[in-house]
Amino acid sequence: MTQCVPDIDRPRMHLDMQLISSRTVPFLGSLSLAPRLAREALFRAGGDRFILYLEEGNSSPTSEERVIFLDLREALIWLNEPPEQRGSFWT
């Protein structure tokens, strides 16, 4: 029987993140003008640190992904955006 033995020679860094909210945002592709969906997810990374993950929504190798670090105020703004302003963090 195999057993997993922790590597005690190297200290491990743990990054605990909690998913706060996620949503999809409809948009028109800039080149094709075809309707598409972008994905956004807000994570809490301890204390008052937040991470906003943005993904363009298609699974092609050229799709765009972004990671934005937010403070508490910016995270609250993202959470409370009205539907017509969703996607504003892409600009």
pLDDT digit string, tens, across residues 14-37: 668 899 999 888 777 667 777 778
What's residue 15's pLDDT?
A: 65
Structure-block tokens of residue 32: 């094709």
Chain segment 31-79, per-residue pLDDT in tens: 777 777 888 899 998 778 999 998 887 666 667 788 999 999 999 999 9
Number of compact structural domains in the chain: 1
**Residue 86 in domain:** yes
For residue 5, is pLDDT > 60? no
For residue 82, is pLDDT > 80? yes
**Residue 54 in domain:** yes
Identify the CA nearest to 90 among candidates 44, 1, 25, 36.
25
What's residue 74's pLDDT?
A: 92
**Residue 80 in domain:** yes
Domain span holding position 29: 18-90
